[in-house]
Structure 1
Amino acid sequence: MGLDREQVVAAGLAVLDDIGLDALTMRKVANHLGVQLNTVYWHAASKPALLAAMADLMLAGCADEPLPQQWQDRLRELAHRYRTAMLAHRDGARVVAGTFPVEPRTLELGEAFVSTLLAGGIQPCNAAWSAWAIAYYTMGITQEQQAYHALDRPVRLADAVSPDRYPALAQVAEFFGPGDFDQRFDFGLDLLIANLLGR
């Protein structure tokens, strides 16, 4: 029995988790599957196409019910699922941020975000742009988190700024630690959602 597209894309994610985005190649995906390179190209015409499909597969289940009924809580849950999906894979946020997949799971998540905003009384243009803002905010902080933890020798902001040269940064450096990504994410997400209430 031949491979289907989903198996090839899932293999791409397995290779990504093993060696990271920079080392991932179509040939390494083929080797992982034990097939010829042209088999991978049959299901994904190029590496960008494979990455778009991988980004989409990462989002499996993100839009599934049950979800909270109250629209702000629903929005928070969707954003948390989106972030968790990217964190589940090595370089996951880089893969998602570097693609623009028009694929079923991505569209389902987009539909869930926008329909939630519309249900909250947000006007269509603001709903569209707010969905983008939340998505890009989520991608950005997740990419920062994954990049930080991938460093061989992470640098602490508190060690890099001196009070005489960077007085403001030195005053707040303790709040930019490696263990506070969750709190920072929730803080920023709450700011975005609070701003929506006036629109």
Structure 2
Amino acid sequence: MTKKQMVEDAPSQLTRTAVIAAALHVLDERGLDSLSTRAVADRLGVRMNTVLWHVKTKARMLELMADAVLGGIRYDSLPDTPLERARELAARYRRALLAHRDGAALVTGTYPAEPHTLRFADHLVDALLKAGADEQRAAWTAWTVTYFALGLTQEEQAAPEESDERLTRAVAPSTYPALQRVLPHLRQDFEQRFTFGLQAILSRIPT
């Protein structure tokens, strides 16, 4: 019996962790549009049913992948000041998304109540509570930070290199005078956009 046949005949020899790791490799190599349970099975050298034995459905695989992406967030050396800690946590969240091709698009639309996702949320909410937010504001601000980071990072990962040039050509002064005035500030600088937007969100926390 070949090694491949042994794995296929005994799915328990292949761990779910290994399946998700392989799925992330496929994501990084091919992008989200080309990700499938069959592609993951091909990478592992097993039948698709073996992958499904561990993840059940593609939707569940995406949830587990999204949680694994957040597993890349570290919680050491965080600032002592609660609001600065919340800001740093948001920055680390964004970096975790950027660490994988289409990372933000993967996480968007998934709702995994899984350890890494819950750990990040707990740290962020704790920082907001300690910064002076009440329970509702802390919860809703955490959602707002998450949605903002996901949306901006998804745009960043999908933006074509020539988007600035296309925008410049499209914004004619006679047709879009207001946009023409602010055109230099509309160019791709996602790091500064993130910093500005995050500050705008967190500035509403009472101190």
TM superposition score category, shorter chain reference: over 0.9
Distance, in Å, in 1 between the alignment partners of 2:174 and 2:90 is 39
Deviations 1:3-59 (A, max 9, x none): 111110111110001111111110000001111111110111111111111010001
2:206 corresponds in structure 1 to 197
Tell me whether 1:26 sits opposite 2:37 in the alignment: yes
Contact 1:87 1:146 in 2 (8 A): yes
Superposed displacement of residue 154, structure 1: 3.2
Q: Which residue of 1 aligns with 2:183?
A: 173
Listed as ranges, the gaps of 5+ residues in structure 1 are: none
Aligned to 2:193: 184
Aligned amino acid, residue 195 of structure 1: R
Contact 1:55 1:99 (8 Å CA) reproduced:
yes
1:158 corresponds to:
168
Partner of 1:130: 141
1:49 aligns with 2:41: no
Q: Is 1:105 the equivalent of 2:116?
A: yes
Give 1:105 shift: 0.1
Q: How many residues align?
A: 195
Structure 1 pair 61/90, CA: closer, same or farther in 2 (3 Å)? Answer: closer
In the alignment, is the contact (CA less than 8 A) between 2:41 and 2:48 conserved in 1?
Answer: yes
The alpha-carbon distance between structure 1 residues 61 and 91, as it changes in their structure 2 partners (threshold 3 A), is closer
> 5+ unaligned residues in a row in structure 2: which ranges?
1-6, 8-12
State the alpha-carbon separation in 2 of the partners of residues 63 and 117 from structure 1. 18
Per the TM alignment, residue 65 of structure 1 is displaced from its structure 2 partner at its CA by 2.4
Q: Pairwise CA RMSD of aligned residues? A: 1.5
C-alpha distance in 1 between matches for 2:30 and 2:162: 19
Cα gap change, 1:111/1:63 in structure 2, threshold over 3 Å: closer, same or farther? farther
What are the residue-to-residue correspondences of 1:5-24 with 2, within 5 Å? 5-24=16-35
The secondary structure found in structure 2 opposite 1:90 is coil
Deviation at 1:152, TM superposition (A): 7.0
Structure 2 length-normalised TM: 0.90
The one-letter code of the counterpart of 1:32 is: R
Q: Distance in 1 between matches of 2:132 and 2:74?
A: 20
Counting aligned pairs with the same residue, the percent is 46
**Which structure 1 residue ranges, 4+ long, deviate > 4 Å from structure 2?**
none
Quote how far apart the aligned CAs of 1:153 are: 4.8
Corresponding residue for 1:58? 69
The 1:116/1:152 distance shift into structure 2, 3 A limit, reads closer
How many angstroms does 1:193 deviate by?
Answer: 1.1
The alpha-carbon deviation at position 63 of structure 1 amounts to 5.1
> Which whole-Å CA distance do the structure 1 matches of 2:74 and 2:118 have between them?
10
